Amino acid sequence: MRAFLVVDVQNDFCPGGALAVPGGGDVVPLVNELGLHFKHVLLTQDWHPPGHLSFASAHTGKQPYDTVALPYGAQILWPDHCVQGTEGAAFHPALDIAHVELILRKGFRREIDSYSAFFENDQQTPTGLAGYLRERGIDTLYLAGLALDFCVHWSAIDGRRLGFEVFVVEDATRAIDANGSLGHAMRQMRQAGVELVSFDEALTFAA
Ligand code: VGL
Ligand code: ZN
């Protein structure tokens, strides 16, 4: 069974937001249209406490897009974004979410980031999504949303690692592309067996 997993379509990742992804808001109409055709629609929501360790502001002398070593590995530092309960953390106002079955929040522990919908950035701590999908008989995921080279990328790779079929609807995503991250993400997804499809292809496969 298929599900449509929409990653982090939140105000802070759209133009005007704290960590705006170029063209981020443009995915909304495509996501809404696809959402009407999939029987099961799930969302993720980046959901950080104030002072989260992925924020440059939590490290003296560091700037956004610097990298620091945290106990679980290298962490890129970001502007403060998607702080729990703020307008920036809210979904894009035009995102049609009435029929969404699950909203999975991630990145809510101060000491660890979570790009992937499946694991926090230590690559070990599960979010519970794999169990949820398996218990519901969902084995195939169509991914869209923000950002292609971070949260979509890591969710796609981890989905493959866990044995799910994964399709990324490329034109319903946008990338940050910090220091070559987009090229790296595309190579890794291809190697992992993630399939890239267009919006039109995804529509024909839906539900
Ligand atoms: C994301 C950077 C930091 C994403 C989330 O949704 O891709 N990127 N937090
Ligand atoms: Zn984040």
Per residue in 30-59, pLDDT (tens digit) is 999 999 999 999 999 999 999 999 999 999
* Tokens encoding 205: 């496969």
Mean pLDDT value of segment 139-151 = 98
Helix ranges (DSSP H) in the chain = 27-37, 129-135, 153-161, 181-191, 199-205
Query: Closest by alpha carbon to 146, among 14, 2, 4?
Result: 14
Give the span between the Cα atoms of 26 and 55, in whole angstroms.
26
Element (H, E) at 44: strand 41-46
Question: Residue 207: pLDDT above 80?
Answer: no
| Tokens (6 digits) for 178 | 């910090």
Cβ-based neighbours of 171, under 8 Å, separated by 6 or more: 30, 198, 199
| CB of 164 closer than 8 Å to CB of 2 | no
User: pLDDT band for position 206 (50/70/90)?
Assistant: confident
pLDDT of residue 205: 86
What share of the chain in percent tops pLDDT 90?
Answer: 97
pLDDT digit string, tens, across residues 64-114: 999 999 999 999 999 999 999 999 999 999 999 999 999 999 999 999 999
Give nearest CA residue, ligand 1 atom 8: 150
157 pLDDT more than 90: yes
Q: What is the pLDDT of residue 153?
A: 98
Task: Give the mean pLDDT of 190-199.
Answer: 98
φ, ψ of residue 30 in degrees (nearest 5): -70, -45
The contacts of residue 44 (CB under 8 Å, 6+ apart) are: 5, 6, 7, 8, 103, 104, 105, 106, 117, 145, 151, 155
pTM score, whole prediction: 0.97
Q: Would you say 24 and 145 are in contact if contact means Cβ atoms under 8 Å apart?
A: no
The answer, yes or no, to whether residue 3 has pLDDT greater than 80, is yes
Q: Using the atom order of ligand 1, give the atom closest to the CA of residue 149.
A: 7
- Give the pLDDT confidence score for residue 105 in this predicted structure: 98
pLDDT at 159 over 90: yes
Give the mean pLDDT of the chain. 97
Residues ≥6 apart with Cβ < 8 Å to 124: none
Q: Which ligand is nearest to the CA of 177?
A: 1
Q: Which two tokens stand for residue 88?
A: 């920036």
Query: How remote is the CA of residue 148 from the centroid of ligand 2, in Å?
Result: 13
* Catalytic residue chosen out of the listed positions 12, 82, 149, 151: 151
pLDDT above 70: percentage of residues in the chain? 100
Q: Active-site residue 151, yes or no?
A: yes
